Amino acid sequence: MAAASPYPNYQPLRSRWVPRVPEHWSLLRAKNFLREIDDRSKTGEETLLSMRMQRGLVPHNDVSVKRIAPENLIGYKKAQPDELVLNRMQAGNAMFFRNRQPGLVSPDYAVFRLLRDDNPEYLGHLFRSWPMRGLFRSESKGLGTGTSGFLRLYSDRFTALEIPLPPRPEQDQIVAYLRAQDSHIARLIQVKRNLIKLLTEQKLRIIDHAVTHGLDASVTLKPSGIEWLGEVPEHWNVAFIKHIADVRFSGVDKHSQNHETPVRLCNYTDVYKNDRITGDMDLMRATATEVEIARLTLKAGDVILTKDSETPDDIGVPAWVPEDLPGVVCAYHLGLLRPVPNRVLGEFLFRVIGSARTAQQFHVLANGVTRFALGKHDVKNAVVALPPVEEQQSICRWITNKCQPLDVAIARTEEEIKLIREYRDRLIADVVTGQVDVRSWQPGPEDVVDDAALAARGDDQEDVTDEEDGDGED
C-alpha cells in the first residue's frame, strides 16, 4: 500500500464531518456543479437498473429473478452515462453512484447531471466516503436512526450542501491512485478468500462423510438406491425431506405497515453469513400479519435455507435455530424447515443440508439463467440419509468438535478481510477529502489494475438486498 503525507496548507471548515480541506480546493454548493434531471420513460422499454452496494448500477435482470413488464416501468426516471444517481432513502449508507450505461431507475431516486468538467468517478468516491455519509445522514429527514430507519435525503437539502472540490487534474489523480490501491486491496482479499475456500472445503469433507457414513468405520454398508448418495450404514434409512420436516417458504418483506404487528426479520444475509440464528443477533425490524407470524416465527430446531441467488453455489445454504425466538420471523427469499419430532434433529438436518451431497442435489434442481432458484417441490423431494436420533446426536457432537479449529481459522480470516475493508474506507475518505496529498504519486510496476480482480473487494453476499433489489418497484 502506498504511503502519503498531508497537504502543506489547509483551510478550516465548519463541519464535524470534514473539519479541514486543502487551501486551494473550492467550496461549492452541490447545486452549482450538479443539476437534478427528471426525464421519465414513456415506453418502459429501456434497461432497468438496480443499485448494488458493491457494484453500483447494474442491469436489473442480471441480479434479480423478478421480471418487470415494460408497461410497469413507464414513468421511471432515465439515467445516462456519467450522471450520478442517489437512492434518497439510502444516502447515509453509501448508495450514491456514477451511472455507466443508459437505463431506468426508480422514480424515487434522484438523477444528477454534471454542470462542470468534474470527474464523475471522483464524485462517486466522495459521496460514498464515510464523512459524506455522515453529513447526508445528518441532513436526512424521517423516522429512525439513519442506518435502518426510514430517512430521506431530499434534493433541496442535498443541493444546498457545501462540497469541497479539488481541481479537475487533481480529481483525475485521486481516481487513478484509488484505482491502483483498490487493485492491491482486491488481490489481498482474494488471497484471504482462497484460504477460506480451502478451509471450508476441508470442513465440508468432514461433514459429508459423517452424515452419509456415520462415525463407525467398521459398520456394514448397504446400497442406498440413490446413485449420488452411494452406500449408507445398513441400519440407516433413506428419506425425502418432506417426510422428516415441514417445508415452508416465506413471503415476508422488510416493509412496515401500520395495520401489522412489529417483528424482527431473519433475512437472507443473516442465514448466508451465520451457521446459527440466535436472539442476540442484530436483526432488521419490520412488520408481519398475524398469519405470517403464526406460520413463520422461528422455533427451536428450525432450519432455514437460502432458496435463490445469482449463483447455484449460494442456494440451499442453511442456518440452524437452537432456541425458540419469539417475535423473529423468517423473511423473503428463504425456506423454513421444521423437523418432525423423533424423526430428525434440527442440528442434524442443518448438517445434512449443508453437506456436499445435498448441495449437489440442489445444484441439479435449481433453475435459472442469470439467477438460480429452488422451488418448494425441489426442497421437499431432496433425499437424505437418516440414522437413528441417538446416532444423530453423536454425529452432531463429533462434527462440532472436529470442525471447531477450522471454524476458528475461518472466522479469523473473515475478520482480517473486514479490517482490510475498513482500511480501504479510511483511505478513500482521507484521499477524497484532502487529508492526504497524492498529487506526486506515480504508478509503479506493482500498481497494475486488474478489472477482474477488483471484483474481489466486495463480500460474496454483500449485495443481497432481499425483496427490494434496490429498484424501488415494490
Pairwise CA distance, residues 200 & 205, whole Å: 9
Higher-pLDDT residue of 434 and 143 is: 434
303 and 450 inside one domain: no
Residues 6+ apart with CB under 8 A from 295: 248
267 and 164 inside one domain: no
Higher-pLDDT residue of 140 and 35 is: 35
pLDDT mean across residues, the chain: 90
221-226 long-range contacts, Cβ below 8 Å, gap at least 24? 224/385, 226/383
- Give residue-wise pLDDT tens across range 341-382: 999 999 999 999 999 888 888 888 776 555 678 889 999 999
Q: If pLDDT is split at 50, 70 and 90, which confidence band does 466 have?
A: very low
Q: Where are the beta strands (DSSP E) in 195-317?
A: 221-223, 231-233, 237-240, 245-249, 261-266, 284-288, 303-306, 308-309
332 and 440 inside one domain: no
Higher-pLDDT residue of 224 and 94 is: 224
Identify whether 258 is part of a domain. yes
Pairwise CA distance, residues 161 & 347, whole Å: 53
308 Ramachandran zone, left/alpha/beta (phi>0; psi -120 to 50): beta
Predicted TM-score of the model (pTM): 0.82
335 and 237 inside one domain: yes
Residue 308 is predicted with a pLDDT of 83
Q: Is 137 helix (H, G, I), strand (E, B) or coil?
A: helix
For residues 121 and 93, the answer to whether their CB atoms sit within 8 Å is: no
Place of cell 480451502: 198
249 and 314 inside one domain: yes
Q: Give percent of the chain with pLDDT exceeding 70.
A: 91
Identify whether 5 is part of a domain. no
Residue 472 is predicted with a pLDDT of 43
Residue 456 is predicted with a pLDDT of 55
Identify whether 97 is part of a domain. yes
Residue 371 is predicted with a pLDDT of 60
Inform me whether the pLDDT recorded for 473 exceeds 60.
no
60 and 121 inside one domain: yes
Identify whether 406 is part of a domain. no
The domain in which residue 115 lies consists of 10-188+416-457
Place of cell 471450508: 200
Inform me whether the pLDDT recorded for 331 exceeds 70.
yes
CATH number, position 249: 3.90.220.20
For residues 65 and 308, the answer to whether their CB atoms sit within 8 Å is: yes
25 and 69 inside one domain: yes
What is the amino acid identity at position 401?
Answer: N
Identify whether 473 is part of a domain. no
- Give residue-wise pLDDT tens across range 442-464: 988 787 666 655 655 554 444 44
Inform me whether the pLDDT recorded for 104 exceeds 80.
yes
Give mean pLDDT, residues 169-180.
97
Identify whether 474 is part of a domain. no
261 and 364 inside one domain: yes
Q: Which three cell numbers stand for residue 31?
A: 447545486
Residue 146 is predicted with a pLDDT of 42
Give mean pLDDT, residues 299-321.
89
32 and 170 inside one domain: yes
Q: If pLDDT is split at 50, 70 and 90, which confidence band does 295 have?
A: very high
Looking at 371, 386, 401, the residue that finishes a domain is 386
Identify whether 137 is part of a domain. yes
Residue 465 is predicted with a pLDDT of 41
Into how many domains does the chain fold? Answer: 2
Q: Which residue from 102, 62, 59, 110 is spatially nearest to 81, judged by alpha carbons?
A: 102
Q: If pLDDT is split at 50, 70 and 90, which confidence band does 144 have?
A: low
Q: Where are the beta strands (DSSP E) in 56-193?
A: 56-59, 77-79, 84-86, 96-98, 103-105, 110-114, 141-143, 150-152, 162-165
379 and 244 inside one domain: yes
Q: Where are the beta strands (DSSP E) in 53-187?
A: 56-59, 77-79, 84-86, 96-98, 103-105, 110-114, 141-143, 150-152, 162-165
Identify whether 392 is part of a domain. no
Inform me whether the pLDDT recorded for 150 exceeds 80.
no
For residue 101, CA distances in Å to 38, 59, 79, 83, 343 come to 17, 9, 8, 9, 54
- Give residue-wise pLDDT tens across range 396-424: 999 999 999 999 999 999 999 999 999 99
233 and 173 inside one domain: no
Looking at 343, 365, 386, the residue that finishes a domain is 386
Strand bridging mode 284-288 / 303-306: unpaired
Burial class of residue 318, CB neighbours in 10 A (0-12, 13-18, 19+): buried
93 and 28 inside one domain: yes
